[in-house]
Amino acid sequence: MTTSTGFTRRGVIGAFAATAVMAAPTFSNAAGLLRGAGDVRRLRMFSGRTGESIDTIYWIEGEYIKEAVKEINHFMRDWRTSDVINIDTRTLDIMAASHQLLDVKEPYMLLSGYRSPTTNNMLRNRSRGVAKNSLHMKGQAADLRLKSRSVSQIAKAAVACRAGGVGRYSSSNFVHMDCGTVRTWGR
């Protein structure tokens, strides 16, 4: 949508983000990030499965940006079936806060976002590590990695958010983050 002054909504958001100055948070104030202490929430991700990238601000000053969240939902779709579901914004917030705590510009590599029941069952037949009632099927989980950070570092940032489940999968080099019950597992 273009305003009478020639500005687009996305352009205004981009300009706002470019001028927002935020100090790098520490692990001790991670919970504040999830309560809205920051003015902007952003996600940067890459999918090796689809070759797609996303770099979007999805929340500004207490409000989710509907179009940006819709883009994230599509990006985090089940790449095997192309099924899309609304990803729980609590999971997005945990992902964004963890990324900010890690103080990196590198995008997450998304290994798994939404999983259809068909995909989840297929993966369960191949691996003991896939839960029957996985939160991935509810759009409440993501499996992520960063080249520049270890599984331990990523997991520590996610745990600092105290907002959901964090699984460490060191042998497969990824961290599971979800907005379910606060818990940890793996090594």
Q: Residue 163's closest CA among 142, 144, 183?
A: 183
Q: Residue 115's pLDDT is what?
A: 95
Question: What count of other Cβ atoms lies within 10 Å of the Cβ of residue 94?
Answer: 27
Judge whether 140 and 90 are in contact, CB under 8 Å.
yes
The C-alpha angle with vertex 138 and arms to 134 and 142, in degrees rounded to 5, equals 70
Strand partners, 108: 45
Question: What count of other Cβ atoms lies within 10 Å of the Cβ of residue 116?
Answer: 18
- Map out the domains of the chain as residue ranges: 28-186
How many Å apart are CA 15 and CA 65, to the nearest integer? 15
Q: Residue 130's pLDDT is what?
A: 82
How many Å apart are CA 64 and CA 40, to the nearest integer? 10
CA atoms within a 13 Å half-sphere pointing along the CA-CB vector of 92: 26
Collect all residues with Cβ–Cβ distance below 8 Å to 43 and sequence separation of at least 6: 54, 55, 56, 58, 72, 92, 95, 96, 99, 108
Q: Residue 143's closest CA among 67, 41, 45?
A: 45
Q: Residue 24's pLDDT is what?
A: 40
How many Å apart are CA 67 and CA 79, to the nearest integer? 20
- What is the pLDDT tens value at each position of the chain, 187 positions in all? 444 444 444 543 444 444 343 334 444 445 555 554 458 999 999 999 999 999 999 999 899 999 999 999 999 999 999 999 999 999 999 999 999 999 999 999 999 999 999 999 888 888 877 888 899 999 999 999 999 999 999 999 999 999 999 999 999 999 999 999 999 999 8
CATH code: domain 28-186 is 3.30.1380
Q: Residue 86's closest CA among 97, 98, 75, 96?
A: 75
